[in-house]
Amino acid sequence: MKIALKSGERLFINGAVIRAERKTSLELLNDAVFLLESHVLQPEQATTPLKQLYFILQTMIMDPVSAPAAKDMFHLVMASVSGAFSSPEVLDQLGTVEDLAQNDRWFEAMKIVRGLYPIEARLMAADHRARQEDDNTPPLRGREVVHQGPQLAVV
C-alpha cells in the first residue's frame, strides 16, 4: 500500500507516530494497522455517540498496548449506542462494526462509523427540532393558570 504524506503530516503505524519532514510517500510492504492524521478525531470532538465509538476504535489503532482495555470500553459504548438507534439500516451497520472490531479490523470499522455520521446528524437535528416545538407549544386555552397572590403597588 502506498501512502502520500504532506510536509509535517503525521501517520500512526502500529502505535508508532511518524511525521514527514517534507512531502514524501511511503510504501507499506506488509500488513500494518495505520491511521492518517486527517482521520484522527480529537477528544473534544467526540461529542456524539458515534463519534465516541469512533474515538475508541481510533485509540485501539494509535495505542495497541491499551487496545484490550479500549476493547472492553468499545463493547460497553457499542451496547449503549445500539440502544439509542431504532433504524434497521444503522443497527445493521453497527452489527458489522462490532464484527470488524471483534476481529481487530479497527480501521474498516472506523470507516463504517464515519459513514453513519450524516444519519446521526439528521436524527439529532430532527430530535432537536421536535424538542423546540414542544417548548414553544402555547398553553391550552381554558386551562391557563392565573396568579391569585398579593398584588404589588407602586407608591
Give dist(CA 30, CA 135) in Å, integer.
57
At 84 the pLDDT is 87
The percentage of the chain sitting over the pLDDT mark of 90, rounded to a whole number, equals: 47
8-56, pLDDT tens digit by residue?
Answer: 999 988 888 999 999 999 998 988 888 888 889 999 999 999 999 999 9
Give dist(CA 124, CA 121) in Å, integer.
5
SS3 56: helix
Largest CA distance in the chain: 89
The listed range with the strongest mean pLDDT (91-100, 119-128, 140-149) is 91-100
> CA–CA distance from 29 to each of 3, 14, 26, 102, 135 (Å)?
11, 14, 9, 25, 58
At 147 the pLDDT is 40
CB 41 within 8 A of CB 54: yes
At 100 the pLDDT is 95
What mean pLDDT is reported for the chain?
84
Q: Say how many Å lie between the first and final Cα of the chain, rounded.
A: 85
